[in-house]
Amino acid sequence: MTSAITLSTLRAMKKRGEKFATLTAYDASFAAILEASGVEVILVGDSLGMVIQGHSTTVPVTIDETIYHTRCVRQGSANTLLIADMPFMSDATPELALANAARLMKEGGAQVVKLEGGMVIVDTVRLLSERGIPVCGHLGLLPQSINKLGSYRVQGRDEASAQRLLEEAKILEAAGAELLLLECVPAALMKAVSEQSKVPVIGIGAGADCDSQVLVLYDLLGITPGKRPRFSKNFLEGCGSVEAAIAEYVRQVKAGEFPAAEQIIA
């Protein structure tokens, strides 16, 4: 990657119908490999609570921990677009979200912050956007709400919830969201959201009809303890090196080969 990836870069890629690759990272060494392999977007996900810290959910992750890992990733990737998750309750009010998002950008080097939720975060998205902080809205399965959901399951299967998600995507975009991420929704719903959205849409466990895919890096490498999500794939198997595995992921995403039928939720 020779030039910096920006939101304008991603919008131009969407307009051309060209897919971009997104992956999580939590440290400088992996971030450098991702950038060298052609990954356009790195997400410092609160998934770090599970794959780095060993928690059973993302809920315990703090804003200070997220800033630390974001800063580490920025040190290893000068040109990749860097998104950081807003951890659980760090965006409980628009004013608190503004303060914490500013820290993620000033102290961590994030260029975009990601917030989970639909209608409940509209005022926050609008405030952040008005103050010059780019936002990625996260819809579908919301891992920070696991204690309410009870389990990690597909969202938007029935007509009513699918329509609600479609409307929330429109509303978040109208409020100023620069990106959308949909997690664990049926492929048909992902396609509908992607087609209606002018902003780039990133999917995880949500079919192939979107502008980008994201995976947790440790799932991609097959080193996450326990059961691997159905929508993930062990790219390290058969590739011989971490670098080759990530490069193959990038190739398959851009070619539209990943996710394949076995990873897609109908």
- 8 Å CB contact between 211 and 17: no
Task: With H, G, I as helix, E, B as strand and everything else as coil, classify residue 237.
Answer: coil
By DSSP bridging, strand 81-85 and strand 41-44 are parallel
- In sequence order, the β-bridge partners of residue 140 are 183
Tokens for 175, please give them: 């409020």
What secondary structure letter does DSSP report for 229? P
Query: Which tokens hold the place of 53?
Result: 């810290």
183 included as an active-site residue: yes
Q: Which two tokens stand for residue 212?
A: 């980008």
Distance between the two ends of the chain, CA-based, in angstroms? 34
Which residues face 179 on adjacent strands?
Answer: 136
CA distance 167 to 170: 5
Report residue 245: phi and psi, to 5°: -65, -45
Lookup result for tokens 């010059």: 132
Strand bridging mode 41-44 / 212-215: unpaired
Phi/psi at 112 (nearest 5 deg)?
-140, 145
> Which of 183, 237, 243, 257 does the annotation list as catalytic?
183
Residues tagged active-site = 183
